[in-house]
Copies of this chain bind each other. A is one copy, B any other.
Amino acid sequence: MKIGLLGCGTVGGALVALLDQEGDRLARLLGEPLEIGRILVRDPEKERVAPISKDLLTTQLSDVIDDGEIGLVVELLGPGDFALGAIRAALGAKKSVVTANKEILSTHFLELELAAEAASRDIFFEAAVAGGIPLIRALRVSLFGERLSRIVGIVNGTTNYILTKMQEEHISLDTALAEAQQLGYAEADPSGDLSGRDAASKLAIIASIAFGSHVDVEDVNVDGIWGITPSDFDFAERSGGVIKLLAQAERDIDDPDAPIRVEVFPAIVMSTHPLASVRGSFNAVFVEGSAVGQLMFSGPGAGGLPTASAVLADIIDAIKNLRTSTRASMSMVTDTRFVEDSSIDAVFALSVDVADAPGVLSQVSEVFGHHLVSIARMEQDELDGELAHLVFLTHRTRLSAIKATMAELADLDVIERSHKLLRVLE
């Protein structure tokens, strides 16, 4: 039985190289070689680093789907309808599928799980979330029996790289982003990462498995890192923390009908928290369960080789199942309710630049009062002769109340500028 590979970019190329390098050893371990039968590419003439025979290349999806020797399709095409169609076609032809496609899974999770079930085949996607960290299999298998209450983590390496740079070198987001792009840690169009959308896709997949419910990326409340400034980092540091982009899924485990809450947001993470020390493009995920307590998984969140390693683990697992005619089953419930913005409560840090004049603080405080937002701490720094920088840390309060507060503040004449709203990880 052979493998059909769809796409041969960074991860696909690393996979081919890995299979080439580890082939003999894996054949010994598995009792048969892992052989690639066909590779779908856009341009067969392109120069490739990985050792690939030209005979394997094709530009026709049907060459892979219709090949009876191919029992397993590895989809590494990236976002888009073509990839979705390819996965559907592979499952339709009763081939198991391994994919790293977070965009597709975060929108079509339930459909594809059901298609795999109908075909009696596997769909595996360890590489779609948190790169080389074996998180998906831990959730699917090791923690299958747990009632999970919370998953919170850093799942986007690009933004974590940028935030780490901003923190350590006191530079602006634009400067850090340019550096990340130069080093290949950020794409030319970084909006998917910086907006939090990439993290939201991964969170949707994590939450779907962790809670056995289909969570779509559109269900996630998303706020990204656009607008974060060095002065936000100064404030975070004075508060004893650093700024991280967090993805969090929560559920009340004592109430089986409780809604799920899925959010991506920038937060001040206190230095004593293990997530505060996750630097650069690394990922880390906390998992909290009713019996097991708190677990943490961390490792490389991206990169061709770590991601290819996760794909390889899925390939081996899928092939073992194909050999014994079994499959890994999911148990999905579909009637999930999501928490509205208005009911999310948390501790917030909020900062504004104001005219440095008598009575300003009282005007600003009055606005908080209107919305019943209670202030835990306030700090004032003079910016220059005419402006002052005010920072407020709230008690636990509703997101809707904070948003209403910020909207009313924006209308005050004395407010020169509102900074990014940050949550605080307790």
At the interface, yes or no: A173 with Cβ under 8 Å from chain B?
no
Contact A292 B299 (CB under 8 A): yes
Specify which of B146, B296, B317, B324 is in contact with A141 (CB 8 Å cutoff).
B317
Residues on B with C-beta less than 8 A from A29 are 144, 212, 331
Contact B313 A141 (CB under 8 A): yes
Give the interface segment out of A111-119, A126-134, A229-237, A358-366.
A126-134
Residues on B with C-beta less than 8 A from A137 are 137-138, 141-142
Residues on B with C-beta less than 8 A from A326 are 324, 326
Residues on B with C-beta less than 8 A from A126 are 142
Contact A295 B298 (CB under 8 A): yes
Specify which of B145, B295, B320 is in contact with A26 (CB 8 Å cutoff).
B145
Residues on B with C-beta less than 8 A from A313 are 141-145
Shortest CB distance A270–B (Å): 13
Shortest CB distance A87–B (Å): 22
Q: With A138-B138, A141-B317, A316-B145 as known contacts, state yes or no: A309 contacts B296, CB within 8 Å.
A: no
Mark each residue of chain A from 311 to 327: 1 if its CB lies under 8 Å from any CB of chain B, else 0: 01101110010001110
How many chain A residues touch the partner (CB < 8 A)?
53
At the interface, yes or no: A25 with Cβ under 8 Å from chain B?
yes
| A316–B277 alpha-carbon span in the complex (Å) | 35
Contact B144 A134 (CB under 8 A): no
At the interface, yes or no: A247 with Cβ under 8 Å from chain B?
no
Residues on B with C-beta less than 8 A from A246 are none
A272 (CB) vs chain B CBs: closest residue: B277
Specify which of B305, B316, B329, B331 is in contact with A291 (CB 8 Å cutoff).
B305
Shortest CB distance A257–B (Å): 13
Residues on B with C-beta less than 8 A from A28 are 331
Residues on B with C-beta less than 8 A from A289 are 309
A137 (CB) vs chain B CBs: closest residue: B142
| A376–B317 alpha-carbon span in the complex (Å) | 48
| A306–B291 alpha-carbon span in the complex (Å) | 6
Contact A291 B309 (CB under 8 A): yes
Residues on B with C-beta less than 8 A from A294 are 299-300
Q: With A25-B147, A274-B277, A296-B297 as known contacts, state yes or no: A291 contacts B134, CB within 8 Å.
A: no
Q: Which 9 A-B pairs have CB atoms at the shortest separation, nearest pair first?
A: A134-B142, A295-B299, A291-B309, A132-B292, A292-B309, A324-B326, A145-B312, A29-B331, A293-B300
Q: What would 20 A/B residue contacts be, using CB atoms closer than 8 Å? A: A25-B256, A29-B331, A132-B292, A132-B295, A133-B295, A134-B143, A134-B295, A137-B142, A141-B141, A142-B313, A143-B313, A274-B298, A293-B299, A293-B303, A293-B305, A293-B306, A295-B297, A295-B299, A296-B296, A324-B326
Q: Which A positions have Cβ atoms within 8 angstroms of B?
A: 14, 18, 22, 25-26, 28-30, 126, 132-134, 137-138, 141-147, 212, 256, 274, 277, 289, 291-300, 303, 305-306, 308-310, 312-313, 315-317, 320, 324-326, 329, 331
